[in-house]
Amino acid sequence: MTLRARFALWICLMMLATLGAFGAFVYFSVSHWLSSNLDDSLRLGATQLIATADIDDGKFQVNDDPVTLDTGLTDQLRSQGLSIQIFSTSGAVLQSLGPYASLTLEPADLHAALAGRSDLQTRPDPEGTGSVRVLTQPMLINGKVEAVVQIAQSVRSIDALRERLLLSLLLGSPIIVAAAGVGGYYLAGRALRPIDHIVATARRISAHDLTDRLGLPPSRDEVGRLAGTFDEMLGRLDEAFQRERRFSNDAAHELRTPLAAMQSILSVIAEQRRTPAEYEAALTDLSEETDKLRALTDDLLRLARAEASEPLWEPVDLAELVPDVVDSLRPLTDPDRVRLSCLTDGDTSVVGDTDALIRLLVNLLDNAIKHTPTGSIAVTVQGLPDEVTVAVTDTGDGIAAEHLPHVFDRFYRAEESRTTSGTGLGLAICREIARSHGGDIEVESEPGAGSTFTVRLSRDPRA
């Protein structure tokens, strides 16, 4: 079942339940109101009759006149469909009028009336056409029960109203539910129309072309947010695929270079017999190319692990780790030409992967040492409330402004850097490590004035 059909079905079920509850409430409320009105009418008629009655020679009189069928009050009560009977305290009928004058006074009703209590009952219609509501009430004269008044009225009209109301509810509810279902189906179609557009777009998209977008008008509703999120996801996927394509092409190019050099050396050597010195020179060249190939392969593996593997989290105090790394790389510098220093400030403890952080620091320092033939290299570790920053500042060659946006791209090397050893993956690895630790890396540089690489690390990337 489609989402649109399920939505319409749910609306029908909800409307059916709501109308059922509301209809039951209306039906029972109206029934109670009609019954209460009938009982109130009986009580009012009995009260009026008692208030105007008098006793004269064993007969009840109304307004000092004998009770007859054309008496004003009795005519009024009879016009309301009421039947009136007046019994003596022994249960004998004194006066009666109306269609239900044949109703008898039950012994229990007589006993209750003599005790000063009134009673309301529903009895079968003597004509067998329904039910009759009967009120039995004592007539007190000077505080003494002198007679018993019984007033009755048929409930056929009330039953008819109830049946008509029930029929209206039973016939009207399905019509309303059906209309709500049709309306819900139509509205669901309008609301879900962008979803169909999303599905169609998703089917058109492939790994070879991620440039297509939904392009729906901006909206703040759920579907609008979904469409916006879908476009953002496509943008990220497109960027990731482009980056992977560049990575694959660059990796193939970088791997091809040492392999081509090795193949060329071997071809030249194999053309004819060579002297031992020539063979040694060829082996030396092959060893250098092999070292380049191994370094490139190692960096590719490190980058893949930095992206895919889960870091081995443990407490790390950068105030201890960073000076150790600096001291271990100090032999690579000429102390007469380059001054290497380290400064820590504040709480520098973080949760991180020690090996990955060492690799990050080694790459940054190695990069600074290669591009700072003379001058100074300063490593500063500073503890902030939510993070720790590590800044590597050198006074070396610097980086031109056009190269700054690309220094962290894989295999990217500025033209002046291609004469130095390296694979072009060191800074890319640094960025992946920094991001896996809940931070990032930034660079500020000016040609001839040096560079500053700043790494931000979260206190606890798992939080």
- Count CB atoms within 10 A of the CB of residue 198: 18
8 or 56: which leads in pLDDT: 8
439 or 463: which leads in pLDDT: 439
pLDDT exceeding 70 applies to what percent of the chain? 84
55 or 410: which leads in pLDDT: 410
- 187-226 pLDDT, tens digit each: 888 777 777 777 777 777 765 667 777 666 677 777 777 7
- 321-369 pLDDT, tens digit each: 999 999 999 988 888 899 999 999 999 999 999 988 998 999 899 989 9
pLDDT of residue 206: 65
- From residue 97, alpha-carbon distances to 82, 107, 236 in Å are 9, 21, 93
pLDDT band at 418 (very low <50, low <70, confident <90, very high): very low
**435/272 Cα distance (integer angstroms):** 54
Q: Say whether pLDDT at 404 is over 90.
A: no
H helix runs in 144-221, sequence order: 156-204
**434/441 Cα distance (integer angstroms):** 6
311 or 434: which leads in pLDDT: 434
Please give the average per-residue pLDDT across 387-399, as a whole number.
Answer: 92
C-alpha dihedral, 79 to 83 to 87 to 91, nearest 10°: 180
Q: Report the first-to-last Cα separation within the chain, whole angstroms.
A: 42
Mean of the per-residue pLDDT values for the chain? 81
Query: DSSP code of 218?
Result: P
Q: In the numeric block, which tokens belong to residue 136?
A: 């039995």
pLDDT band at 63 (very low <50, low <70, confident <90, very high): very low
